[in-house]
């Protein structure tokens, strides 16, 4: 399991930031990603692995519709 936004989320073998975003259908274009507290640039999503037990934050910095 991993923690995603302080909730339990199933870990998948070979998971990356990109694959997690795709799995969660997070299609909003303005995301803030941190893995174990470290900020991840958008161009690094595909190359950044997520390991079992990681603490991931994928924040949508939006407060207005």
Are 30 and 58 contacting, i.e. CB atoms less than 8 angstroms apart?
no
> Between residues 6 and 14, which has the closer beta carbon with respect to another protein?
6
Strand ranges across the sheet with 55-59: 7-9, 2-4, 55-59, 32-35, 38-40
**Residue ranges in 31-60 that form contacts with another protein under rule CB under 8 A:** 32, 39, 57, 59-60
Identify the three-state secondary structure at position 34: strand
x/- track of binding to another protein for residues 2-31 (CB under 8 A):
---xxx-----------------xxxxxx-
Positions touching another protein (CB under 8 A) are 5-7, 25-30, 32, 39, 57, 59-65
């Amino acid at each position: 399991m991993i923690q995603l936004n302080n909730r339990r989320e199933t870990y998948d073998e070979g998971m990356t930031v990109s694959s997690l975003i795709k799995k969660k259908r997070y299609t909003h274009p303005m995301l803030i990603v941190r893995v174990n507290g470290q900020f991840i640039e958008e161009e690094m999503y595909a190359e950044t692995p997520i390991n079992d037990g990681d603490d991931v934050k994928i924040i949508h910095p939006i407060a207005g519709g």
